[in-house]
A and B are shown apart, each in its own frame.
Chain A
């Protein structure tokens, strides 16, 4: 019998942070305890002003062995980048 509590992933947004950043993980019986423990564990030195806790079991991650095919479309579409487009010399504010 396992009495171990589920694992939660913790995301913290810093005082001037624009987005929540993954800070680490912890075990807790429920979301509220996870949140309290995350506060004590990851914001002890005012590292953040907002915390999200997410059960680790609901996170689906991309798989490293399909890394290349999975992200391929990003590299063969150069026209998605502004540097792809030529601008005639002397044209300004473009």
Chain B
């Protein structure tokens, strides 16, 4: 959808737009694609939503690594469905980003050239089958803790995408938890494998909440705009408090000798995070940065001819005279009109049933 910005004639007008925006945000109203919004608000959202979308797409790789090696047919089917969901999340999020006036192709270009990032967590390797469970429990768990408040984000399309995403993520988290539980209660070797996975994924999961509050560059502004509802440290604490009893129920330990219950604050105190590792991973020096990005680029480049073929076929099927390299067929518009005004019963096929196949 194209985004229409009102003409910014005078300063007075600009101030009035700004006031209307501030009032809407203060009243917890949603900002919608065609509403006026500050340029920085738009840019922040584009950055955040795009990087969120990229994370979903890159995030398919570490788990997909185990699809062909899943230990049972049930687990394999579950994993396939989960990776498919992640692809869907990426698509919802790219759609949300596009309502801000960017297009998906240009965002993908930025991902491929390294100008936009994705979540640091996906630069860690999946070394054993148990890693699939640890990702579900911890990584999806951290994602949910982060994303549930985003369902109330001030930007409507992002908030609505998050509602769908959160529903599916919480179900991924259960799957991961169940997988780890089964391993934990299994043989000694299985239990050890589960523990090893948790040991490796715990700290990177805590890093998913971003830098500590006093070092987070965008936090204050994002919270003022109600894009973010809670600080990084607040969400991280919430996640730790949730995970500790869950780990106990699993019969696994969390790799933090400083973890202790603080009766005064009513929270679990946890040890120091190695932020130098986090920074290195963000700068591209994590264990898998190179591999993740080159796989994504290779898929894009070697798929170019397939995309070109699909476009060429679509053009060929358009009626003569209406051919347009990028635009969709104008015929589609007539179908919708016919469907909604034709007075015929609403069949399950909808308007498309009238589309004649030229073959």
Contacts and interface: CB of A to CB of B under 8 A. Distances in A.
B91 A41 contact: yes
B349 A31 contact: no
Contacts of B302: none
Nearest to A25: B95
A25 B307 contact: no
B103 interface: yes
Name B's interface SS: helix
Interface of A: 2-9, 13, 20, 24-27, 29-31, 33, 35, 40-41, 44, 49-59, 61, 63-65
Interface string B285-318: 0000000000000000000100110110110010
A55 B348 CA distance: 20
Interface of B: 1, 4, 6, 32, 34-36, 84-85, 88, 91-92, 95, 98, 103-105, 161, 164, 304, 307-308, 310-311, 313-314, 317, 326-330, 332-333, 335-336, 339, 346-352, 355
B339 A5 contact: no
Given A4-B103, A58-B330, A31 B355 contact: yes
Given A6-B327, A31-B329, A53-B332, 20 more contacts: A3-B308, A3-B311, A4-B105, A5-B311, A6-B326, A7-B1, A29-B311, A30-B328, A30-B329, A31-B335, A33-B314, A35-B352, A44-B85, A44-B88, A49-B348, A52-B336, A54-B333, A55-B333, A56-B1, A57-B328
B332 A31 contact: yes
Nearest to B95: A25
Given A41-B88, A58-B333, A31 B6 contact: no
A33 B95 contact: no
